[in-house]
Amino acid sequence: MKLNIQYIIIILSVIFFSCENDKHIRVYKIKKQMPQEKEERKITSKTNSEFEWVAPKEWKEVQGHSMRIVSFEVPSATGLGDLSITSFSGASGGIQANVNRWENQIGLSPSSLEKINKISESRVSKLGKYEVFELVNLENQNSAIIASIFKLKETTLFVKLSINVAGLKTSRNQFINFCDSIGFIK
Amino acid sequence: MLKILYNFISSPKIFVYTVLWLMILVFFGTLAQKDIGLYASQMKYFSSYIFLFYDYIPLPGGRITLLLMTLNLSSSLFRKTLWKIKKIGVIILHIGGLLLLLGGGVTAIFSSEGNMVIEEGGKVNYTDDYHRMELCFVNLSLQDSLEYTVFDEELLVEGNTISYDKIGLEIDIISRIKNTRIQNRITEADSVYKGFLKQFVLLPKEPEKENTQNRPSLIFRIRGSENNADGIYGLFLGQKDLDIFNFKNEKYFSEFRKERTYLPFSIELLDFKKVLHPGTQVAKSFSSEINLIENQIPRRVLIQMNEPLRHMGYTFFQASFIEELKSESTVLAVVKNYGRLFPYISSIIMSAGLLVHLIINLPKMIKKNNVTKA
């Protein structure tokens, strides 16, 4: 059989281009993190609300204000912190108004929305996406707040931990894990 | 015709010219690093088939040159004149050279490199590519898992439309920005802009020489969501405030991130240590004490400078660290190189080839030397 250059080019082209993988779309699933499965020291806590969560064993559930869904005493080496979960209908003033209110509580001047967006951290919990805000007054080591805002369909859920600056550093990861674990009661 | 082609391809002159051309590429590629950075220079001169010299003159790049060299070496093996016992050394040498080129090809096509950032106390089971990006949509509505739909770098080209039937979406890539400046909108945004782009605009700025210092972004239009999620969205690398959409009653968020490769094991950072040069803030050495967790069984390993961890074809080098107010993170460079052994093997083969050739030709050379002396 007599081959000429055109045939060779065609054959080589077919070989080369058939190697191109045009499946550039991948789909995979990753199991949502369930802290209670991994760490025995944590316990699941529920109240009469529609939410459930996994709280660290060291945290003590206490009677709080009637507006609160739940309150915890958060121990740290430098004192106790106060954690609360509250839920309000609608946007409840929005992110800026609430962060400014917390800033005022620890003696900070109110920040613009742009600055708030810069300092916020987006995370995903069983309820969906939420924002974490860490507010520290460097002039007053006794005042710090770490809080999360969950914008739900009809309500806004607030998780707030008031603690001293040193306590915030040691309790931060527990707070984040706690917020990640909040979900609707199945 | 075939014979002419074969004679041309297998000509030793081709090998000489390609070697010379490679030397020129190495010279200009090295100089170009000063102006365009290491990665851009590597892509332009060595990882390309054809490149534009001074933006006008098309010239063969590293890949086509090496491909030509491989064809030349392999076709020369079919020369009848080569297959003689006295040329066994040359044959071995050719095979060694071919193996080296083959290893280069394997490395270029299949190898991957990236980094792994682990916070102290944290656990990570994926690596982020240094340069390649991906767009992913994450379904948050599943009960116990997050479903990721990932669109690779190749699809994220300006003007391209991605149709993905599974979630009934059409995504038009409007703009891909290499380095981004984020600016507040001065006037109210048109209703077509959604999420983050309602308040901000993504503008291009002069790219940095080192690609890893750039903040890439992507502007795309979503069609076919059958609700008000249709519109133009913007994402940038490292974005915190991710937009959530609803598609067919399921909640998604999208993310533009470094291409992620999942590993069959995970690494937990137990402790990160750094030693500074006395009286300075310059790191002398740093090390990561880690748990290598495979099938839920942890194994304690110490990774430090010049002492990488090698596991399942991956090599983890201690590359850098991130020090923040509240925590420290280690940065491990992760390399998977399928062609890692080729240079060693081919070097041994080529050395053996040269030795055999020398031994075979030694009597002839001695004889020739004696004749010259006489």
Buried b (16+ CB within 10 A) or exposed e, B179-217: bbeeeeeeeeeeeebbbbbeebbbeeeebebebeebbbb
Ranges of each domain in chain B = 2-110+340-373, 125-261
Any idea which of A4-8, B50-54, B309-313 has the lowest mean pLDDT?
Answer: A4-8
Q: CB of B286 within 8 A of CB of B273? A: yes
What are the DSSP calls for B39-101, one per residue? HHHIIIIIS-SEEEETTTEEEE-HHHHHHHHHHHHHHHTT-GGG-SGGGHHHHHHHHHHHHHH
Rounded to 5 degrees, φ, ψ at A35 are: -55, -35
Higher-pLDDT residue of B321, B226: B321
Q: Which of B315, B255, B291, B307 is nearest to B127 (CA)?
A: B315
pLDDT at residue A48, rounded to an integer? 60
pLDDT in tens, B92-128: 999 999 999 999 999 988 888 899 999 888 899 999 9
- Write the DSSP symbol of residue B215: -
Tokens 């499946």 belong to residue:
A23
Arithmetic mean of pLDDT over chain B: 88
Q: If you measure CA to CA, which chain B residue comes closest to A34?
A: B144
Q: In this complex, do A3 and B242 lie within 8 Å of one another by their Cβ atoms?
A: no
Higher-pLDDT residue of B351, A36: B351
Can you list the residues of chain A whose pLDDT is less than 50? 1-3, 20-21, 35-43
Return residues 28-57 of A near B (CB < 8 Å).
Answer: 28-32, 34
Query: Residue B195: pLDDT band by 50, 70, 90 thresholds?
Result: confident
pLDDT at residue A13, rounded to an integer? 63
Helix residue ranges, H only, chain B: 2-9, 12-36, 38-41, 62-76, 88-110, 342-373
Report chain B residues whose CB lies below 8 A from the CB of A152.
none
Q: Report the residue from A3, A117, A120 with minimal CB separation from B2.
A: A3
Q: CB of A132 within 8 A of CB of A146? A: yes
Rounded to the nearest angstrom, the minimum Cα separation between A93 and chain B is 19
Is A153 at the interface with chain B, CB within 8 A?
A: no
Q: Report the residue from B162, B251, B262 with minimal CB separation from A128.
A: B251
Token output for B133:
């990006």
Rounded to the nearest angstrom, the minimum Cα separation between B37 and chain A is 28
What does the alpha-carbon distance between residue B224 and residue B231 come to, in Å, rounded to a whole number?
10
What does the alpha-carbon distance between residue B270 and residue B293 come to, in Å, rounded to a whole number?
12
Q: Report the residue from B148, B151, B153 with minimal CB separation from A30.
A: B148
> Measured in Å, how far apart are chain A's first and last C-alpha atoms?
73
Q: Which of B337, B339, B332 is nearest to B125 (CA)?
A: B332
Q: In this complex, do A24 and B2 lie within 8 Å of one another by their Cβ atoms?
A: no
What does the alpha-carbon distance between residue A43 and residue A60 come to, in Å, rounded to a whole number?
11
- For range B285-309, the mean pLDDT: 90
Is A169 at the interface with chain B, CB within 8 A?
A: yes
pLDDT at residue A21, rounded to an integer? 45
Tokens 């890539």 belong to residue:
B173
- Write the DSSP symbol of residue B165: G
Q: Is B188 left (phi over 0), alpha (psi -120 to 50) or beta?
A: beta
Q: Report the residue from B150, B241, B262 with minimal CB separation from A117.
A: B241
pLDDT at residue A37, rounded to an integer? 40
Q: In this complex, do A27 and B2 lie within 8 Å of one another by their Cβ atoms?
A: no
pLDDT in tens, B145-177: 888 999 999 999 999 998 877 777 889 999 999
Tokens 């972004």 belong to residue:
B217
pLDDT at residue A39, rounded to an integer? 43
Q: In this complex, do B242 and A26 lie within 8 Å of one another by their Cβ atoms?
A: no
pLDDT in tens, B201-215: 899 998 887 777 888
Q: What angle do CA B5, B60, B58 make, to 5 degrees?
A: 120
Q: In this complex, do B253 and A124 lie within 8 Å of one another by their Cβ atoms?
A: yes
Q: Hey, which residues does B293 pair with through a beta bridge?
A: B266, B298
Q: Which of B196, B193, B328 is nearest to B255 (CA)?
A: B196
Tokens 């690398």 belong to residue:
B237
Q: In this complex, do B166 and A122 lie within 8 Å of one another by their Cβ atoms?
A: no
Element (DSSP H or E) covering residue B293: strand B283-294
- What is the set of domains in chain A, with CATH numbers? 38-184 (3.40.1000.10)
Q: CB of B229 within 8 A of CB of B243? A: no
Any idea which of B68-77, B78-87, B123-132 has the lowest mean pLDDT?
Answer: B78-87
What does the alpha-carbon distance between residue B357 and residue B374 come to, in Å, rounded to a whole number?
26
What does the alpha-carbon distance between residue B161 and residue B178 come to, in Å, rounded to a whole number?
19
The winner for highest mean pLDDT among A10-14, B138-142, B322-326 is B138-142
Burial class (CB in 10 A: 0-12, 13-18, 19+), B167: middle
Higher-pLDDT residue of A1, B370: B370
Any idea which of B44-48, B124-128, B158-162, B185-189 has the lowest mean pLDDT?
Answer: B185-189
Report chain A residues whose CB lies below 8 A from the CB of B251.
128
Token output for A114:
């742009």
Residue A66 Cα distances to A45, A63, A162, angstroms? 18, 9, 18
What does the alpha-carbon distance between residue B302 and residue B283 come to, in Å, rounded to a whole number?
18
pLDDT in tens, A5-17: 556 666 666 665 5
Q: Report the residue from B1, B140, B240 with minimal CB separation from A5.
A: B1
Q: Is A79 left (phi over 0), alpha (psi -120 to 50) or beta?
A: left
pLDDT at residue A147, rounded to an integer? 94
Tokens 């045939």 belong to residue:
A7
